[in-house]
């Protein structure tokens, strides 16, 4: 089965891979807070919709071509989005970071992970990867156990 684009907003896309199963967030450049939150809220609606097909989901945040996100947005993710995403069935998040963008993107990923663990403990498991293939391989393994 092929990956399907479920949602697009500006330079952001949300793809669905039913084989893993996971949603993949891809973005290029900077995303303002209102777009970021609108995008994630739409993703949450889609998680709820896809939950009818799969009990738990993986999430890939491909930040390879993205600028860092604002700290206030990472707090919003930890305090608002993550509890709702967990309730909807999200259990695993894989961040894709490239060498070129690693320093900038890693700050956002580390901030997100730190805030998420403070808010929810280890309920949503986060891992960093250097390519999407490795991220999806890991998700496939943990979701099949």
Q: Which domains does the chain have, with CATH numbers?
A: 4-144 (3.40.50.10600)
| pLDDT value of residue 81 | 93
Which helix or strand (DSSP H or E) is residue 15 part of? strand 12-17
Q: What is the pTM of this model?
A: 0.81
Q: How confident is the model at residue 124 (pLDDT cuts 50, 70, 90)?
A: confident
At 6, phi and psi to the nearest 5?
-95, -30
Residue 107, pLDDT > 60, answer: no
Please calculate the CA angle 131-85-135 and round it to the nearest 5 degrees.
15
**Unique residue bearing structure tokens 């707090």:** 75
| Digit-coded pLDDT (tens) for 32-89 | 999 999 999 999 999 889 888 887 779 999 988 888 788 899 899 989 999 999 888 8
- Tell me the three state secondary structure of residue 5: strand
At 99, phi and psi to the nearest 5?
-60, -45
What share of the chain has pLDDT > 90, as a percent?
48
């Amino acid at each position: 089965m092929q990956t399907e684009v479920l949602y697009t907003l500006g330079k952001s896309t949300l793809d669905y891979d039913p084989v893993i199963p996971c949603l993949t967030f891809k973005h290029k450049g900077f995303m303002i807070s209102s777009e970021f939150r609108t995008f994630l809220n739409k993703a949450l609606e889609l998680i709820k919709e896809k939950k009818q097909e799969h009990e738990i989901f993986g999430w890939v945040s491909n930040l390879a071509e993205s600028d860092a996100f604002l700290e206030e947005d990472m707090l919003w993710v930890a305090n608002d989005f993550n509890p709702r995403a967990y309730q909807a069935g999200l259990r695993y998040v894989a961040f894709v970071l490239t060498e070129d963008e690693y320093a900038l993107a890693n700050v956002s990923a580390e901030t997100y992970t730190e805030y998420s663990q403070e808010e929810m403990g280890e309920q949503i498991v986060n891992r960093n990867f250097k390519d999407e293939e490795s991220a999806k391989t890991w998700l496939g393994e943990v979701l099949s156990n």
